[in-house]
Amino acid sequence: MTSTSRMALVLVAMVGGCATEQGAVSSGPAPVAGQTIVPGSQEDLVKNVGDRVFFDFDHATIAGNGALTRNNVATLDHQAAWLSQYNRNNVQIAGNCDERGTEEYNLALGQRRADAARGYLIAKGVADGRVTTISYGKERPTAMGSNEDAWSQNRNAITSLR
């Protein structure tokens, strides 16, 4: 065999090897399609609207000193619009607190936070019968820890479908 013939044979083997390898990759299982979020579902509320707003330490106000940030007010605005669009959905707003304070105090503060978020949604046109509230005080933390990062995540009002 001449060197030209050998070179041609090597090239054919390489190209054939590449084609086989490439074919093996493309003939594998199809990629898993992303899960579809059902419009009007709890997952839709959480991922596309936002289900929670956060409060400053020892505050439960929407406007004024110690009030919610613009991002939190925007979340409530989005929730009101979403509830208008999905007008068969009813929600419950759970008020929560960080671990500091007594159980009694935090239950009352959590209720004020839930009531503030509820009042805002009603002022934006959501029927009052569609929104209930509950307070968990410090009993259901969303973040574990005894530091400002955890505390700031636990001072919230969480909206969920009921």
The Cβ of residue 115 has, within 10 Å, a number of other Cβ atoms equal to 17
Please say whether the beta carbons of 139 and 130 come within 8 A: no
Q: What pLDDT digit, counting tens, does each position of 52-66 carry?
A: 999 999 999 986 666
Q: Is 18 domain-assigned?
A: no
Query: What Å distances lie between residue 128 and 51, 60, 93, 125, CA to CA?
Result: 18, 19, 12, 9
Q: What pLDDT digit, counting tens, does each position of 27-41 carry?
A: 444 444 668 999 999
Kindly give, in sequence order, each residue whose CB lies less than 8 Å from that of residue 103, ignoring residues fewer than 6 positions away: 137, 138, 139
Please say whether the beta carbons of 96 and 138 come within 8 A: yes
Per-residue pLDDT at 1: 56
Per-residue pLDDT at 81: 99
Q: Is 24 domain-assigned?
A: no
State the pTM of this model: 0.77
Q: Is 29 domain-assigned?
A: no
**Distance between CA 62 and CA 55 in Å, rounded?**
9
Q: Is 7 domain-assigned?
A: no
Q: Is 100 domain-assigned?
A: yes
What is the extent of the structural domain holding 84?
42-161
Q: Is 4 domain-assigned?
A: no
Burial of 15 (0-12, 13-18, 19+ CB in 10 A): exposed
Kindly give, in sequence order, each residue whose CB lies less than 8 Å from that of residue 88, ignoring residues fewer than 6 positions away: 40
Band (pLDDT 50/70/90 cuts) for residue 9 is: very low
Number of domain units in the chain? 1
Nearest alpha-carbon partner for 117 in 97, 98, 93: 93
The domain spanning residue 119 has which CATH number? 3.30.1330.60
Per-residue pLDDT at 68: 74
Q: How many residues does the chain have?
A: 162
Q: Is 51 domain-assigned?
A: yes
**Lowest mean pLDDT across 26-30, 48-52, 139-143:** 26-30
Band (pLDDT 50/70/90 cuts) for residue 92 is: very high
